[in-house]
Structure 1
């Protein structure tokens, strides 16, 4: 049976040692982690002393290991109670346990330990013999009672602070492991089973139950990771207010910015539940229905990210983000962030005003484009009216004059002719009627033509004056704030056909429109160069560029017009800034 005792002690000591080393290597440790290490250290000490007393013949040194077992036994109850306080995030420990409270917790056991170490008068209080075996005595009963008081006091604190379902599950798992090991230990040592197993120490075996529950809690519930691990230095550097809440609804960590936002110091916040902060915001801040859900999520947690905007006054507005911390199918906590959106709101308002101005400018540009289009149509009508007046009008004027002469000379001619040669009366009437009809038609046609011509604008338009048209268009675009620099190189032809005129003019107009609408340019350079064999057009702006050029309707229209003239057009961009167009048309 000694071999079983040795195996259990060795196994427990090894597991505790690995756990201590692993947790000790963590760079950041809070009260829970330190207490967790202390518990494993006590169990390691008990198991190691038991193993040494069983395997090695230590002789006179055996008393030293017996004392170490006494210290471990008396310290387990208080350390477990402190562990429960940190685990439940009790307000009694705040950020760190004060020395006075620590001494108060250890005082009963310190008194008993002093009696044992000083060899008090009542030998029945001792429960370790000289070989470290537990003997049936009043001291054993007294230790069990005091240990049970510590345990159940801590158990009540843990269960009272478990607000959520997963927090209760985790609390039950942690406390059940210790409770079960205590029950097994009490039943074992307070019955004849201990003697039947030849004084085998059951504590290392019972400790394995606790270690298993710790392993399940760490792996499944991540209870050692939800509490803050000295992240305050990093979090305090953030410009946003940060609050970390554990699965039980307790505030685990806050940064300095959050103290300013909520008007409470860090100690007050850490003593509060997340639901208290939620109620505080609901009472003192402004919010809409959608944001109310985000505020409520601060206190009760959320399975999905929730956002909302809260406003204290015109100068203080924050956007809150509530993000869950999940592990498998459990909600182990959540993080609440407070983003200052006052400056963003001002920028948004300013951007809205600029958008309104841009919309008004766009409306004026559309109106200007309509005016330009109407002016072009009016000029075209004037040109056609001038051609009709010069050609058809001239012919009709001659026709009227000739008919007028015939009308005046016809009666005289017929009167001087011999009777035999005269035209019969019927024929004469018919000819006269035809002449009168022709005269009336020509006269009415001329009148209608003059009326039609007079209804058009009488401003003379020269279609071939391309430079004047482009300059006029530029003046209209410069009214929107864009500065356009037009440069002419070479001698322009005296006559430009309609297709060439339309291609150059419309390319300049579309490029200026794109520079205003898409490029948001401030400056545009137009260079029109006339060589003996080639006409070249360069248009360069300083607006927004693009990595990939997509030929939309405007660019495609330019390309079609240039291709009809057997020319070439290319588009270029620097990526982040600037757009250019190059046109070549054979002269």
Structure 2
């Protein structure tokens, strides 16, 4: 064996072994870090064929007789024959995100199978290899036929990839598009240069006499380009591994899962959070179905509160989740931000217990105030008694609720607490002025429905500050009111809202005022605890009295846990 032949064998073995090692490392890296999808598996299948091709080339090169050399050539074509259909499958999945239909798949696989049979039987017909010796060979007509078919599949695959890249033009950077295009075209371009003899002529001009087929090596370079693309640009529908570094140093508990809720990444904060409560998260999918909403919205952040019962102790969490979508708006993973709210929930329970004590004390205080008012007004007319009930009951109820809120926020938000106290003072002053006006029987000018709307909005705003959520509707023709009717409508609304705040334990009330045919229709509906047996107190009696003064209609109804409904027409 002369020196040049030894050198040629050395270079073939060295470069192929190096590139096989690089290919296996890149495939292993991709498999660990990528989403396990059909696209990934088709890509790995294509690369494994290239590795088999390179292994066969190494063994063919070191074969010591023609029969052994022929055996490894057949082995080589077991891989080469399927490269065209493998690339076609990869391109189809890349474009359509699904595998080729079964019948079409069976059809295209006929050609590589026939090619393998043709190579194996070549010693009898010499149509694939026209001549074959230990040192040289020449191709027959079937070689070029199969080469044409394989290149046809490759060009169709390139067309599909180009179509996908065109569709992705506005979602990918120019650099990403150039890299993907290069990775796809690179090996086929070098294969054409080798088969056409251009590479051989170029090396001969450089006085380099040994030339070997570098197509499989170029496939490895293509693979490394894909690894770079995947690492930086989320190709192959993967969740990019850079997210590992992003979430690692975040203080919040972050968990990143695939679409099947298997953990891909989890930061130290999440591990520490679950370690505190001895919660095993090896099977996060099982934990997910215990804790979280099964139908999250895909296009927005989902926020929910959940609990776990661990060793007869309730643990509370606030969970924010966001689905990671591919270009087709299909979920490929989920990122969870989990906050331990156990201490907050326990504090809330303690505050609720203390609030009940405060409410009981306030109730006693309110009863004493009402008793004092009744004693001092025992000689006052029924009209004055009703006015006192409306004004004082309304004002005190609002003030009590505002002061309770102020107490809650006193240590948390001093500014908000002071604002609530100032609002309480303002309401007391307004109540005092209303009381003086009522006792003096001061009559104001006629007012219309716009004036009423303005006053009701002010009234509603006070109740909202006390924690009552009111939906308000006023409609109908603009109407002039005498002072008495105007006041009665306002008082009915005020008394009904006060009762809702005092007795119903509701947070939501619907108030509707409608003017039609010179009549005023009032509907007040709350979503509170309601009751089966209604005991008429001063408030309901006052409302009914005022309605009857205008020969109107007054109805009310309630059932336990069904809220309270008042209807008045005057």
TM bin (shorter chain)? 0.3 to 0.5
Q: With the length of structure 1 as denominator, give the TM-score of the two structures.
A: 0.41
Decide which structure has the larger Cα Rg and report it: 1
Q: With the length of structure 2 as denominator, give the TM-score of the two structures.
A: 0.42
